[in-house]
Amino acid sequence: MDTLLENRELVTLRGSSVSEQDNRSYVITSKQTGAQVLVDAADNIDQIKALLASAQDDSPEPLNLVMIATTHQHWDHVRALRELAEDTGATTSAGAADLEAIEKESGLRPAHALEHDDVGNFPGFDLRAIHLRGHTPGSIAFVYEDPSGSPIILSGDSLFPGGVGNTWEDPERFTSLFNDVRERLFDRYPDDSAVYPGHGNSTTLGAERPHLDEWRERGW
């Protein structure tokens, strides 16, 4: 089911669960221009197309998918990537360190390699890439820094309600991911920042912040 998650002054955020693993695909739509960025073409292209079309009343302008952004390399986040890109003509992006693996998993190499703090300037809004190393080498969170409201963080599989993403009991990977999440998200953005992960329910940084020491101590 397609859901309106955020209705902001300049954009809307809509999301849909598109797989048996509750993979979430999200679309940001500019109210002024109709430009759209889809985050994670995870699976079920027909459902993703319906998600894109569900924003038709969010803007007086025709909808235009300008970018498919991928949070990370894992197969369950890229199953519809190649087909959607070929069908829509939208360009593609992902973390530089994950490009090769995404190509192997999906058959498409994203056109734009993202580094930490890169900002995508789209018609009507910007998105910032935050590199969170640990779940995969090139995992990216996409942040809409709302000029008139709280940030929206699309965290992929790097931050969930209750903890950081899976690092497969590897202490080095956990420390890397935990430190990046703490320094690059919690230390940078306010408590009312909304967090929408790659699976399951949303949260806020404020709801999770009191538990950071607990996460560090338990190691996951």
User: Burial letters for 141-173: b for 16+ Cβ neighbours within 10 Å, e otherwise?
Assistant: bbbbbbeeebbbbbbbbbbbeebbbbbeeeeeb
Tell me, what's the pLDDT at 51? 98
Residue given tokens 């894109």 in the structure block: 52
pLDDT in tens, 200-220: 999 999 999 999 999 999 999
Distances (CA, A) of 172 to 98, 163, 176: 18, 16, 6
Tell me, what's the pLDDT at 27? 98
Tell me, what's the pLDDT at 2? 63
Average pLDDT over residues 4-21: 97
Whole-model pTM over 0.85: yes
- Residue 11: name the closest of 119, 156, 145 by CA: 145
pLDDT in tens, 86-123: 999 999 999 999 999 999 999 999 999 999 999 999 99
pLDDT in tens, 126-140: 999 999 999 999 999
Tell me, what's the pLDDT at 1? 55
Return mean pLDDT, the chain.
97
CA distance 31 to 29: 6
CATH second-level architecture of 4-218? 4-Layer Sandwich (3.60)
CA distance 208 to 199: 16
Average pLDDT over residues 17-27: 96
pLDDT in tens, 42-86: 999 999 999 999 999 999 999 999 999 999 999 999 999 999 999
| Beta-carbon count within 10 A of 46 CB | 9
